[in-house]
């Protein structure tokens, strides 16, 4: 599964700028809807597109690897065992 570190980057940016930054503000600056940002931040396994990832990387001045990480699914071992039986 892909894990998105949107809230982590938002917290870091807020800390460095010494002010509160909301998802609404990120939406205004990036053109990404508040609803989409909320889904990205809160829904595990949410699907998004490269345009959204590009806009977030530009806003946070980061690389995609700072925003996204691959995490092994918890049930992957169970599914593999079932396939082999």
Structure tokens at 13: 């940016």
pLDDT at 76 over 80: no
pLDDT digits (tens, 9 = 90+) for 8-57: 999 999 999 999 999 999 999 999 999 999 999 998 888 899 999 999 99
Confidence of residue 7 (pLDDT cuts 50, 70, 90): very high
Rounded CA gap, 85 and 83, in Å? 6
- Predicted confidence at residue 41, as pLDDT, reads 92
> Is residue 69 within a helix (H) or strand (E), and if so which, with residue range?
strand 68-70
What is the value of pTM for the model shown? Answer: 0.81
- Predicted confidence at residue 4, as pLDDT, reads 92
Number of domains in the chain: 1
Q: For residue 41, give its domain range.
A: 2-84
Specify the DSSP class assigned to residue 19: S
CATH assignment at residue 38: 1.10.260.40
């Amino acid at each position: 599964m892909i894990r998105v570190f949107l809230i982590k980057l938002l917290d870091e940016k807020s800390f460095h700028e010494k002010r509160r930054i909301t998802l609404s503000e990120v939406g205004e600056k990036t053109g990404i809807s508040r609803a989409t940002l909320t889904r990205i931040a809160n829904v595990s396994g949410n699907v998004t597109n490269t345009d959204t990832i590009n806009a977030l990387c530009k806003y946070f001045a980061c690389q995609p690897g700072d925003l996204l990480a691959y995490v092994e699914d918890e049930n992957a071992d169970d599914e593999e065992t079932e396939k082999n039986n």
